[in-house]
Amino acid sequence: MGKSFAERLAEDRRGAILRILNAVEGHALNEDLLTRELLRQRFGQVTRDDMRGLLAWLERGSLVEIERLEGDLWAVTASRAGRDVARGAEHPGVAQPL
């Protein structure tokens, strides 16, 4: 059986997050800026819970590092492996751009 729309969308969003981080200086942004950029790139509205789920998944896969800041904000940095995936390396659960 194929993947659901929700699974494919999550994979697309994970790939987009890594590409966004790869494109910025220092390969780091906070979760709010990532959320806004996903919306700007037409990946739909992402709630804070949705974003944190995506980021936690990427962290478990060693693709990002998360620093939990005071005031309940997450700072996210792409790891070397995450930057490799952003540049085209395959990783299960992360969609590559078309």
Full domain range(s) for residue 21:
5-86
Strands of the sheet containing 73-78, edge to edge, are: 28-30, 73-78, 64-69
Q: Is it the case that residue 98 has pLDDT exceeding 80?
A: no
**Collapsing DSSP states into helix, strand and coil, what is residue 30?**
strand
Residue 98 placed within a domain: no
Q: In the structure, what pLDDT confidence band is assigned to residue 94 with cuts at 50, 70 and 90?
A: very high
Q: Are residues 85 and 63 in contact, defined by beta-carbon separation less than 8 angstroms?
A: yes
When divided into structural domains, the chain yields a total of: 1
Residue 96 placed within a domain: no
Per-residue pLDDT tens digits for 57-78: 999 999 999 999 988 999 999 9
Residue 11 placed within a domain: yes
- Integer Cα distance of 71 and 31 in angstroms: 13
Q: Is it the case that residue 97 has pLDDT exceeding 90?
A: no
Residue 95 placed within a domain: no
* CATH number for 10: 1.10.10.10
**DSSP output for 73-86:** EEEEEE-HHHHHHH
Residue 97 placed within a domain: no
> What φ, ψ does residue 69 adopt, rounded to 5°?
-90, 165
